Amino acid sequence: MQQPGMLAGKVAIVTGAGRGIGRAVALLMANEGARVIVNDIGAALDGAGRSDDPAASVVAEIQAAGGQAIASTLSITEYTNAQAIVEQAVQAFGRVDIVVNNAGILRDRIFHKMSPQDFTDVLNVHLIGSFNLSSAAAPLMREQKAGAFVHMTSTSGLVGAVGQVNYMAAKMGIVGLSRGIAMDMQAFGVRSNCVAPFAWSRMVDSIPAKTPEQEARLQRAQTVTPEKVAPLVAFLACDAAREVTGQIFGVRKNEVYLFNQPRPIRTLHKSDGWTVGALAEQVASLRTQFTPLEDTAGVFSWPAN
Ligand SMILES: NC(=O)c1ccc[n+]([C@@H]2O[C@H](COP(=O)([O-])OP(=O)(O)OC[C@H]3O[C@@H](n4cnc5c(N)ncnc54)[C@H](O)[C@@H]3O)[C@@H](O)[C@H]2O)c1
């Protein structure tokens, strides 16, 4: 007899589930027994345009494999849409146990050329969108005394990336959103965690490879598939992760990481108070422990394996 899946009986909403990582998460969750709302507006990488096709085709894939899913093509940037998506899940499947905030866009620009529109559009999808859907689902989860949020952050935020001030701000904002939800909803048995994924998708494909080293790195990146991200996300959403909340994980091919979270690492104390001059003298002693301005490739310098 076939074992029931790790998500049997659960209802999951996965945003940006028409492509890339979200698609892999939706397919795996359905395979593990969840009924899934496949939300995706079918936008271009920069957020432009709309198509029903990506969401519909993932729903068809899930159904063809014997799972249950319905499509949603509403943008999570509007609060009323987020409420409608939750309502759609309740109407179709009776509850909401899991929200995966995965939808995303990119508008990479060097900071001095980044327009207010580039900044707010990226914040609106990643951060405001994640707030919208989390907020819309929260009262239900509170009532159920159970629920799990998984939010996609990025090492581009946690570590850094040139030309991504908007994306970095959004992804670090999501870390705060997740941690705050974990703290506020702990009393109701609701959990919230972040995942910083690595996966070959059109998002990564958009990063220009200018040098032979960058080209080699991109070729290696193609072996890091979205399907490698999905098990960690599905695990964080399932009851076996009941002790796990407020954390930041990463996944790159077959590696899973737990990230640290900012804590003071050194203290300077001056009993008669600080002056600018005294700081100028003393802060130098911290220099060896400054966090260098390195990017993701600088921190994850070994090949994905
Ligand atoms: N691919 C990576 O290596 C990587 C690395 C770090 C973080 N991430 C994060 O993982 C998530 C998924 O990335 P991906 O690489 O699979 O991207 P992707 O571009 O392949 O998929 C993102 C999907 O989100 C959808 N979307 C965009 N705006 C939306 C909106 N307003 N409402 C609903 N859907 C919307 C798009 O139509 C698209 O199908 C993103 O949050 C991304 O920032 C990805």
Which residue matches tokens 């964080």? Answer: 236
Closest ligand 1 atom to Cα of 73: 33
Mean pLDDT confidence for 104-130: 98
Q: Would you say 296 and 160 are in contact if contact means Cβ atoms under 8 Å apart?
A: yes
Round to the nearest angstrom and report the end-to-end CA distance of the chain. Answer: 34
Task: Tell me the CA distances in angstroms from 158 to 21, 100, 111, 152, 229, one per residue in order.
Answer: 19, 19, 18, 12, 17
What are the structure tokens assigned to 97, written together? 């146990």
168 CB contacts (<8 Å, ≥6 apart)? 156, 157, 160, 161
258 vs 21: CA distance, rounded Å: 19
Which residue matches tokens 């070994």? Answer: 302
Pocket test of ligand 1: the residue of 13, 19, 77 to mutate, having most ligand atoms within 8 Å of its CB, is 19
7 vs 54: CA distance, rounded Å: 23
pLDDT of residue 206: 67
pLDDT of residue 240: 98
Whose alpha carbon is nearest atom 43 of ligand 1?
104
47 vs 4: CA distance, rounded Å: 38
Confidence of residue 224 (pLDDT cuts 50, 70, 90): very high
Q: From 259, 303, 267, select the one nearest 286 (Cα to Cα).
A: 267
What b/e readout covers 9-28, taking b as 16+ CB neighbours within 10 angstroms? ebbbbbbbbbbbbbbbbbbb
pLDDT of residue 238: 98
Distance 10 CA to ligand 1 centre (A): 23
Whose alpha carbon is nearest atom 30 of ligand 1?
75
pLDDT of residue 202: 75
Whose alpha carbon is nearest atom 13 of ligand 1?
21
Distance 45 CA to ligand 1 centre (A): 8
Q: What is the DSSP string of 139-197?
A: HHHHHHT-EEEEEE--HHHHT--TT-HHHHHHHHHHHHHHHHHHHHHGGGTEEEEEEEE
pLDDT of residue 203: 67
pLDDT of residue 222: 86
Closest ligand 1 atom to Cα of 153: 7
Sheet with 255-258: list strands edge to edge: 69-72, 35-39, 11-15, 98-101, 147-152, 190-198, 248-252, 255-258
Q: For 133-162, what is each residue's pLDDT tens digit?
A: 999 999 999 999 999 999 999 999 999 999
Say if residue 109's pLDDT is above 60.
yes
State how far Cα 303 lies from the chain centre: 22
Closest ligand 1 atom to Cα of 202: 20
| Max Cα distance, the chain (Å) | 74
Residues labelled as active-site residues: 167
Whose alpha carbon is nearest atom 44 of ligand 1?
197
pTM: 0.96
pLDDT of residue 2: 66
Q: What is the DSSP string of 240-303?
A: GGTT--S-EEEEETTEEEE------------TT---HHHHHHHGGGGGGGSPP---HHHHS-SP
Say if residue 47's pLDDT is above 90.
yes
Question: How confident is the prediction for the chain on average, in pLDDT?
Answer: 95
Pocket of ligand 1 (CB under 6 A): 15-16, 18-22, 39-43, 45, 47, 54, 75-77, 102-105, 125, 129, 152, 154, 197-199, 201-204, 226
Task: Count the Cβ atoms, other than its own, within 10 Å of residue 218.
Answer: 15
Distance 16 CA to ligand 1 centre (A): 6
Q: For 175-222, what is each residue's pLDDT tens digit?
A: 999 999 999 999 999 999 999 999 987 767 767 778 888 887 778 778
